Structure 1
């Protein structure tokens, strides 16, 4: 049966992440050193010692999460993992798509770190603080949430940002529009509509300036076709051409992360084991909720890595 590697997105960060990898494996230490050098600062110090509010800043959380994922990948490769031979596809949730592409060789590690720093800063700068918002809508179908977003758009842009599956959708846009949509969702029968403590309305039309910044940044970096296809967030289907992937990464800034459909695509194409590489186990939990035929396995510490290698190389 097929294997895919998935890579977590923002929200999976925690102070201390990656420290055990760095203490245990020289290959992991080298990754954190290279990311620090690429960014011209000790991001690893913030990752391991905090403070949490500094790590949580979008411009830090994005490259930090990628660094933990790639540290785990490099350790596995040093111990005999042949990614192309053992893994059919890669996919990542939002910023995790960059981690996936770095793992698959489309971008260098240093370029990925710099791209994510640019992406984080551009997303933060796209909308004045307080002007945008996001909300989680629990217990409504995709079509119903689409309808409440359309009904609320008289207040400003409002759209589905993440389809996480298991009856959880995240909406994003102008603050007043998102608040209206959340109220309408509750009227429509949503179990819960929760405003999220985020710093910007990610994956909404308001992120247009950030999409422009990423188009410019992606045009300047060297790109190679990935070793294995990526299941692109905005397409929920495999893509193998580097230039096409770069265009989809630009689209992703203002587009929907179609994670439910991504996992459903895996299930429909006999990819039954999803290794979540990096911090936390959010995607592993989502996989279980989306399709019971898919097994999610979180890989973030030394014991997880050894177990995954034994299974993959067995």
Structure 2
């Protein structure tokens, strides 16, 4: 069995999608549709930068989705097969869940782009810059990370944002609490704490205003049943019901990204191959979770052709 997986924020880079668009009209059409949906020349920003503008949450989120979907569409076009012919499940990390839903036909490309633009803007506005932060805990499992977050909160918000794999957990909350946590890592048997270069504390209760904005937008968005079940971030379980998808996307804004559990549950369900579209970050995490699973990253036309030769 196979799962298609889609990366989250942090996988953006100037030049993303450029070579694929030069090689395929299918990829160009995806980028053009996203530009039209957002009334913005996002693809030019993706190709040329500047990097600091591309990294802005409101730009990075739709850009990463567009790049992943362009890669998927090229693969489908070149192979003459649809997603449902090639995989049993799909999943995405944080914003990547929108990419997974778009890939599986639950969201159309225009809707996904507009929702992610709003999601990025709303997350940015939810907390004044400097008041919140995030840190990656290296050499930490979920138990150690949760204990550290609790100990460092001291009246502030500090919670687990991303349970990425058995060796890396990300915490999020008030900056003062995040800084305390970094100073306390050794006391909790954690190798290192690294402050992340993000502009807002994602996936914690400080994001409540963003969750409310997304709830309103998602209530009006057209969502169809996905072609394959999607493993949701907040439950680490497969979901196909449209109303459940809508609600889980709202909860995802403030909830923990349970990526480690999602991959483990897909693996336990029989998935032996994980194929990442438009990035290479998730395949590394998968290898640390499901050690016997095969991982493949599709970024270039060569990657796509190599994969299609095996299916």
1:234 aligns with 2:234: yes
Q: Does 1:31 align with 2:30?
A: yes
Q: Does 1:159 align with 2:156?
A: no
Residue 284 of structure 2 is matched in structure 1 by 285
Partner of 2:269: 269
- Indicate if the aligned counterparts of 1:155 and 1:176 stay in contact, CA closer than 8 A: no
Partner of 1:53: 52
Deviates more, 1:145-154 or 1:5-14: 145-154
1:304 aligns with 2:303: yes
User: What is the match of residue 207 of structure 1?
Assistant: 207
Residues in 2 aligned to 1:24 and 1:144: alpha-carbon distance in whole angstroms:
46
Query: Residue 214 of structure 1 contacts residue 250 of structure 1 at CA under 8 Å; is this kept in 2?
Result: yes
- Within 2, Cα distance between the matches of 1:151 and 1:97? 31
Match of 2:64 in 1: 65
Tell me the number of residue pairs that the alignment of Structure 1 and Structure 2 aligns: 310
Deviations 1:153-186 (A, max 9, x none): 2241110000111310000001111112222222
**In the alignment, which residue of structure 2 is the partner of 1:7?**
6
Structure 1: distance between partners of 2:19 and 2:166: 32
Matches within 5 A, 1:83-94: 83-94=83-94
For structure 2, the residue ranges without an aligned partner over 5 or more in a row are none
* Alpha-carbon distance between aligned partners in 2 of 1:182 and 1:85, rounded to the nearest angstrom: 46
Q: Aligned to 1:190, what secondary structure does the other structure show?
A: coil
Structure 1 stretches lacking a partner, 5+ long: none
| Residues in 1 aligned to 2:84 and 2:267: alpha-carbon distance in whole angstroms | 20
In the TM superposition, residue 138 of structure 1 has moved relative to its aligned partner by 1.4
Q: Does structure 1 residue 40 correspond to structure 2 residue 35? A: no
Deviation at 1:55, TM superposition (A): 0.5
Is this contact kept in 2: 1:160–1:170, CA < 8 A?
yes
Which residue pairs with 2:170 in the alignment? 170
Deviation at 1:152, TM superposition (A): 2.0
Conserved? CA contact 1:186–1:193, under 8 Å:
no
Shift of 1:226: 0.3
Q: Distance in 2 between matches of 1:267 and 1:229?
A: 14
Q: What is the match of residue 109 of structure 2?
A: 109
Tell me by how many angstroms 1:100 deviates. Answer: 0.4
User: Runs of at least 4 residues of structure 1 off by over 6 A?
Assistant: none
Cα deviation code 1:236-272 (max 9, x no counterpart): 1100111101110110100111111111112211101
**CA distance in structure 1 between the partners assigned to 2:173 and 2:302 by the alignment:** 41
Structure 1 counterpart SS, 2:184: helix
Per-residue deviation, 1:187: 1.5
Deviations 1:139-161 (A, max 9, x none): 22311211121122224111000
Alignment root-mean-square deviation, CA? 1.0
Q: Distance in 2 between matches of 1:220 and 1:309?
A: 37
- Of 257-266 and 44-53, deviating more is 257-266
Aligned to 1:244: 244
Distance in 1 of aligned mates of 2:23 and 2:139: 42
> 1-side partners of 2:35 and 2:159: how far apart?
36
